[in-house]
Structures are given as structure tokens and as C-alpha cells.
Amino acid sequence: MEDLLIQYNQVELCRGENSILQHVNFELHKGEFLYIIGKVGSGKSSLLKTFYRDIPIESGQALILDYNLMKIKKNQIPLLRRQIGIVFQDFQLLTDRSVNANLEFVLKATAWKDKNSIHERIQEVLKQVGMTNKGYKMPHELSGGEQQRIVIARALLNAPKIILADEPTGNLDVESGNKIVQLLHDICSNGTAVVMTTHNYQLVQKFPAKLMKCEDGKLFAISL
């Protein structure tokens, strides 16, 4: 299937000697929004990290964006990661430079060279997240919600097929959190798949989508 982005079949993942999740079976398709909910320590973040090969998979079959995660070569991992945008809870912006310089740094690190193209792409993603006039600002001059919008802009730079958002509202107030989730749904409606971890049931109810839960070492579909 052309729109199939991730396919996990009987996947097990471990951290050291500890088994985190077993018998993981699920698929993610183009333009799909998936929430993964569960308590802290239930394996949500670890699962996301397997998608971009930050954590290896112990056993099973795991295909993502035409890469076999059980057989992927080391030099293929950066190519995989360019197709995945990552939104962190704690922003991870470079605090010593402006928003524009943060975004420029990522583009140059992923082999963009033409100055005009870099400038145009930065303006495009800032417009997409409603931050057109904030490029000159330093991260500390922005609110938490604004910083998270910049993080989403950073994740969009290389036009990823999948966005992974790990507790993206965890450090935000309710109103800012709602706006961030709405923004992620808007991005998804344009064809980019989104996987978002959260333990906030109110957000899931307010912005419904496909829902799975990590609990007791398992991942399973649920409905609210």
C-alpha cells in the first residue's frame, strides 16, 4: 500500500535487560493522526524513539518509510531521520541564537546550501505555524506556546512524511496546549501523518483521532 508509512508486527523493545513493550502490532498511514496515551514510564517515548532508530528493536518485524528497522544500515539512519519531524516537550531550541538562526542551522545540517532557498524555506514554515514575524526573536523572548510553534516549524523544514510529537503540551498552559494540538491536526489535514504521545485525556476528547494505549507492556487500540 502506497500510503502505508509504518508497519509493526509482533515487535518487542527493550532498554538494557528490561522489556518495555511486547507484541506491538500497528500501522500508520499517510495523513493519519494517532494518539498514544499512557502513564509516565509506560513505554510511549521509547516506542517513538524506535521509529527513528534511537532505540533498537529486540525482535519482530518493523517497517517504516520503506526501511526495515531490523536490517537498517548505519549510513541509512540519517536518511530515515530526514523524513521524520520531531517535536520535543522541552523544545530543545539553541538558546544562543535567533529563531531564524535555529532553523537555518537545521537546514545546513541536512545539506541545504543555497542561501535563497534556505531563506524561503524558513519563511514558509514560520508562516505555516503562524510565526511569520518572530524570526528575529531569541527563544527566551518567546512564550512557551510560541517556542513550541517554532519547534513544530523546525520539524517541518524538510517536509517530513511523519511528525512525532512527544508530550508536546506537557510544559504549556491549557490554552496554549489546545492551540498546539489544533496546529498539529491542521498539519495532518495536509497529508503529514502525526503520532502524538500524551497523558492528557481532555486533549484527546477535544481533538479526537485514532487512539492507542501503552499499559502493562502492551500497546492496544482503545476508544474514549
20-57 residue pLDDT tens: 999 999 999 999 999 999 988 899 999 999 999 999 89
With a pLDDT cut of 70, the percent of the chain lying above it is 100
3-state secondary structure the chain: CCCEEEEEEEEEEEECCEEEEEEEEEEEECCCEEEEECCCCCCHHHHHHHHCCCCCCCEEEEEECCEECCCCCHHHHHHHHCCEEEECCCCCCCCCCCHHHHHHHHHHHCCCCCHHHHHHHHHHHHHHCCCHHHCCCCHHHCCHHHHHHHHHHHHHCCCCCEEEEECCCCCCCHHHHHHHHHHHHHHHHCCCEEEEEECCHHHHHHCCCEEEEEECCEEEECCC
Per-residue pLDDT for 168 more than 70? yes
Q: What is the mean pLDDT of residues 166-193?
A: 94
Q: Quote the pLDDT of residue 109.
A: 92
State pTM to two decimals.
0.94
Q: What is the mean pLDDT of the chain?
A: 93
Q: Measured between alpha carbons, how far is 33 from 56 in angstroms, rounded to an integer? A: 24
pLDDT in tens, 86-138: 998 888 899 999 999 999 999 999 999 999 999 999 999 999 999 999 999 99
Per-residue pLDDT for 208 more than 70? yes
Per-residue pLDDT for 180 more than 80? yes
Cell numbers linked to 177: 496546549
Identify the structural domains of the chain with CATH numbers, from first to last: 1-83+161-224 (3.40.50.300), 92-159 (no CATH)
What one-letter code names the amino acid at 177?
G
Q: Which residues pair with 118 in a beta bridge?
A: none
CA 22-47-90 angle, 5° bins: 150
Asked if 98 and 142 touch (Cβ cutoff 8 Å), the reply is no
pLDDT-based confidence at residue 221 (cuts at 50, 70, 90) = very high
pLDDT-based confidence at residue 223 (cuts at 50, 70, 90) = confident
Q: What is the mean pLDDT of residues 129-148?
A: 95
Length of the chain: 224
pLDDT in tens, 184-198: 999 999 999 999 999
Residue 115, judged by CB atoms within 10 A of its CB (0-12, 13-18, 19+), counts as exposed
Q: Quote the pLDDT of residue 197.
A: 96
Q: Quote the pLDDT of residue 7.
A: 96
**Residue 20 backbone dihedrals phi, psi, to 5 degrees:** -95, -50
